[in-house]
Structure formats: C-alpha cells, structure tokens
Amino acid sequence: MSHRRRPHATGPPPPPEKGGGGTPPQSPGKAPWPERRVLVLALAFRAVNALLVRTYFNPDEHWQCLEVAHRVAFGYGHLTWEWKRGLRSYLHPLIFAALYKSLAFLHLDTPWFMVMAPRLLQSVFAAYGDLYLYKLCKLIFSEHVAQWTLFSQLVNWFMFFCITRTLSNSLETVLTVAGLYYWFIAIESSKGISALSKLQSASYQSPHSRRVALLIAALACAIRPTSAITWLYVGLLDFIYIKSKCRFLFLEVIPLGRRLLWNTRLPLVFHPRFSIYDLDVLTTFSFWSHKVSRMEAFRSNCLGIRGL
C-alpha cells in the first residue's frame, strides 16, 4: 500500500500561536489617542467646567490668591494677617496679577472678566493636568488604562468642583502630575514598569527630563510647601537605586535649588523685613483658640456643597 506524499506548503507561514514567540498581537480597538486631541478635549471640558462652577467653596481661592493679586495689580485690596506678616509666597498670586494687568491693558477689566478670567486661566492649567495624567498612565501602564484614567478624571465630581478654582492646591496638583510624568521618563531602572511601557519610554528618553521634573517639583513646593512630602518620598526612593548619586546631587539638585532660592526674595519686594514663618506666630495664633461645634462642622462640610 503506497503512501501519498503531502505537498510542500508554498504560502506564507502561519501566524505564531498564542503564547508562543514573536510579536504579541495588538488588542483591537485600543489605538493610542493623539495627544493634541486629548488636550483639545480637556481644554473644552475644563472651560465649560469653569463656567458652570459658580458657588463659593473655600475662602482661600479669594483671600489667598485673587484679593492679593488684585492688590498687586491695582494697588488696593484687603490682605489677611499672614500676608501682612510676610508668611506666604507671592508666586501663585503673581500669576493672576499678571492676568489682571493684561485685562486692564486690553480694557477688558469689566466685572465679568475680572471674575471669570482667573477661573478660565486655571481651567487651562487643569486641562494640561488632565493631559499629563493621561500621558503618565500611558507611560507606566498602557493605552487602555490611560483612556479609562482620563475618563475617571473628567467625571470625578470633586475634581469638577475644585480643579478650576483659584486654589493653590489646584495648581499644585497639576504641577505634581506633570513633574511625575517627566520623573518617570528619567528613571533609568525599569523596575515596576510594564513591558509595553518600556518600549514607549525608550522613544521618550531625554537627558533633560530629570531636570525638568526637578524644576516642576521645585515650583510645586514653592507654591505649596506641603508638596515636599510627595517629592521627598519620590526623590529618596529614586536616590536609593540611582547609580550616579554625586552627579544627581551636585549637578542637578543643588544648582536647581540654588536658583529656586530666588523665590524666597519675593517677599522683599512687598515687605521691608524678610521673614520665614516667624516663630512668634505661635504666640499670636493658636489652633485651640478657635472652636467649631459639631453642627457647624457638619453644615460647612456636608451641607455646604449643594450645587456647583
């Protein structure tokens, strides 16, 4: 009984089986979004966000920012006690003081523009924060995770309520996310980063990314000193694994810190006496001297947010 020979295959080789070698198949429907489209979407969404939020939430968005900026720009406005003592940095209010000056120069310093322009400017910062959050998640995880993270960011009620307000916390949040993005680009070790992100980060490598991250982190700490809690942890964790510790300290951290010390000279422009958190503040202000009842705390924290 004769055996028939199987003819040799002349077509292309079959695709590699699942779990075998070769390039892993791309999941359908997960094409990366263009970053420009993400930014345009975030700008439009946050602009509407700024126009819809019309309520009063925290006094700091006025007394620690806009009122100070108005005084810097026009020469009059109320300053609270910590500004009179020179305890706060003018770096954050100066952003909106420049905006007020621009509105006055263009003869647009009408009540509507004076009220809404700062929030619209903050909405631009918030939109870039959304973009960098998307880029950070795509760098660390994957495109699928980044898309859902952006969706969660945009539908987050508290972010919608607060991120377009002129609070220093809002700008600190944006700077922290952007700084973390550049920091993860500069990480030499791939520990904790997925395989897909390794390929993505290879095309993003930049010798100046760590310096950009340090600059953004320094600005965040200058605006909100409590931001140092986050960056001390991130910096110390990376410092343990970094190879060139001396180069990192003497060529990146110290020169940037020396330049940023200029921010401490800003109070000299507005105060004849330079002070850094006077020690006698403890004798003039005490947390225990201000008592809030349980009903007041419940009314301000729970019943105060009834609308936008």
Domain extent listing, the chain: 35-266
Helix axes 35-52, 111-140, angle to 10 degrees: 140
Helix, strand, coil shares of the chain, percent, nearest 5, are 65, 0, 35
Ramachandran area for residue 132 (φ above 0: left; ψ -120 to 50: alpha; else beta): alpha
Looking at residue 307, its pLDDT comes to 52
- Please give the chain's pLDDT, 308 residues, in tens: 455 555 554 555 555 544 444 444 444 556 788 999 999 999 999 999 999 998 888 899 999 999 999 999 999 989 999 888 877 888 999 999 999 999 999 999 999 999 999 999 999 999 999 999 999 999 999 999 999 999 999 999 999 999 999 999 999 999 999 999 998 888 744 444 444 444 444 444 454 788 888 889 989 988 988 888 998 888 888 777 777 777 767 666 676 666 566 655 555 556 555 444 444 444 444 444 455 565 665 665 556 555 55
CA-nearest of 261, 231, 33, 262 to 149 is 33
3-state DSSP assignment of residue 254 = helix
Distance, in Å, from the CA atom of 130 to the CA atom of 150, rounded to the nearest integer, reads 7
Distance, in Å, from the CA atom of 127 to the CA atom of 177, rounded to the nearest integer, reads 12
Please, where are the H alpha helices in 55-167? 60-61, 67-74, 81-84, 91-105, 111-140, 143-154, 157-162
Looking at residue 190, its pLDDT comes to 42
Distance, in Å, from the CA atom of 291 to the CA atom of 288, rounded to the nearest integer, reads 7
pTM of the entire predicted model = 0.73
